[in-house]
Amino acid sequence: MAQTEPAATGERYARQSVLPMIRAAGQQRLADSAVLIVGCGALGSVQAELTARAGVGRLIVVDRDILELHNLHRQILFTEQDVRDRLPKAEAAARHLRAINSEIAIEAVTTDVTPANVEALVQRADLVLDGTDNFETRYLLNDCCVKLGKPWVYGGVLGSDGTVMAVQPGQGPCLRCIFPEPPDASTVPTCETRGVLNTAVMWVAALEVTEGMKILVADPAAQVRLYALDIWGGTFASVTPQRNDECPCCGQRQFGFLTGKRGSSSTVFCGRNAVQVTPERPVNPDFGRLTQRLNSLGRTTMNGLVLEFETDKHRLVVFPDGRVLVLGTTNPTEARGLVAKYIGS
Ligand SMILES: [Zn+2]
């Protein structure tokens, strides 16, 4: 079959650039922009697809996780084959995004966003979109973006509810002006305990991307709003959030989340029967030697990107940066024990 050339850029974006708030100038600004998407699960995969289709010139997609079957109900960029291939989400996303839009640059980064690497990632972007599922990373992003003066869009979704707010350092409140401290993780419901409606994910992600596009095209009419919605209940409200002069982050410029007071070395994943164990220092695991050692203890699979080890009860996924995802438990102590037992600490 003859390959058809992609349509010319002008034609591709014709229905978008004709919009009065975009026009040719806005389309060009999108093409000249780099967007960092932190987390490529439910929210992030929708953000990635929308920004790729809209013609954002460079996408940097970061995610620390691999795909599993229960992701597919809401992570619309992915397929059953991606799950069978046990691909890291960032890599699977990049492959689909390149098929959707071959005219833009797409970069997949499979890593955990931490105080050690966040500034280098954010520095390269004109805008950061929150596709995370945890407050630890959001407060880290807030610190980093305020410090570097980069805009970011916060978004959260749970059940059928969502919250969205764009943060433009110097022009309005930051996340900590509104929510000074992250909630106690042990008291917050998760995707696992409460579930999440895929239509709510779409709405929240669409709103985040819209807020981001306003910033990228420099819409003079845009105003900072804090949105709260419930797609099942049919409610949508927004207020103008106020900056807090006493804010420890944008007021006093104390960046505690960025300066390394990062919590434990293990993280219980939202919506997952899984715990991530992060080594104290970055390591480069020797996959060949590990596979040899683990072969006699269980089933190992190496797909060139991650090493997976399966026992009767648990699965351990080893990433190239030394992180281990332990599936089959939500107990951090047990997870650390399994990592110490099978992988070494
Ligand atoms: Zn603030």
204-253: per-residue pLDDT in tens? 999 999 999 999 999 998 999 999 999 999 999 999 999 999 999 999 99
pLDDT score recorded for residue 287: 87
What per-residue confidence (pLDDT) applies to 280?
A: 54
Contact between 238 and 302 (Cβ < 8 Å): no
Quote the tokens at residue 122: 């954010």
What is the rounded average pLDDT for all residues in the chain? 89
Task: Give mean pLDDT, residues 99-120.
Answer: 95
Q: Tokens standing for 237? A: 């409200």
Label residue 281 by pLDDT band (50, 70, 90).
Answer: low
The answer to whether the CB of 137 falls within 8 A of the CB of 113 is yes
Q: Locate tokens 């332990």: which residue?
A: 326
Best CA proximity match to 141, nearest among 118, 166, 168, 112: 118
Separation between Cα atoms, residue 233 and residue 231, nearest integer Å? 6
Q: How far is the CA of 36 from the centre of ligand 1 (A)?
A: 21
CA of 130 to the centre of ligand 1 (A): 17
Least confident of 42-46, 98-102, 182-186, 273-277: 182-186
- Token pair of 263, please? 């919590």
CATH architecture for the domain at 266-342 = 2-Layer Sandwich (3.30)
At residue 96, φ and ψ (nearest 5 deg) are: -70, -40
Quick check: 345 pLDDT over 90?
A: no
**Which residues are close to ligand 1, an ion, with C-beta < 5 A?**
174, 176-177, 247, 249-250
Sequence-separated (6 or more) residues with CB below 8 Å from residue 191: 133, 158, 270, 271
Label residue 190 by pLDDT band (50, 70, 90).
Answer: low
pLDDT at 48: 98
Cα(221) to centroid(ligand 1), Å: 22
Neighbouring residues of 142: CB distance < 8 A, sequence distance ≥ 6: 152, 154, 167, 174, 175, 176, 249, 257
What's the rounded Cα separation, in Å, for the pair 305 and 82?
A: 13
CATH code given to domain 9-239? 3.40.50.720
Nearest to 52 by CA among 108, 3, 4: 108
For 249-275, what is the mean pLDDT? 78
What are the φ/ψ torsions at residue 152 (nearest 5 degrees)? Answer: -145, 155
Q: Please, is 8 exposed, middle or buried when counting C-beta atoms within 10 Å of its C-beta (0-12, 13-18, 19+)?
A: exposed
Distance separating alpha carbons of residues 218 and 69, to the nearest angstrom: 39
Average pLDDT (179-202) is 77
The predicted model gives 259-287 an average pLDDT of: 71
What is the CA(146)–ligand 1 centre distance, in A? 8
pLDDT digit string, tens, across residues 115-155:
989 999 999 999 999 999 888 889 999 999 999 999 999 99
Distance CA 72, CA 204 (A): 17
Query: Per-domain residue ranges for the chain?
Result: 9-239, 266-342
The span from the CA of 237 to the CA of 230, in Å, is: 9
Mean pLDDT of the 55-83 span: 94
Using the mean position of ligand 1's atoms as its centre, give its distance from the Cα of residue 248 in Å: 7
Mean predicted confidence (pLDDT) in 40-68: 96
Distance 180 CA to ligand 1 centre (A): 8
- State yes or no: pLDDT of 67 exceeds 50: yes
Exposed, middle or buried: residue 120 (CB in 10 Å: 0-12, 13-18, 19+)? exposed
Q: In the predicted model, what is the mean pLDDT of residues 246-269?
A: 80
pLDDT at 261: 61
Give, to the nearest 10 degrees, the angle between helix 198-216 and helix 23-31.
100
**Matching fold, domains 9-239 and 266-342:** no
Asked if the model's pLDDT at residue 38 lies above 90, the reply is yes
Provide the pLDDT confidence category of residue 1 given band limits of 50, 70 and 90. very low
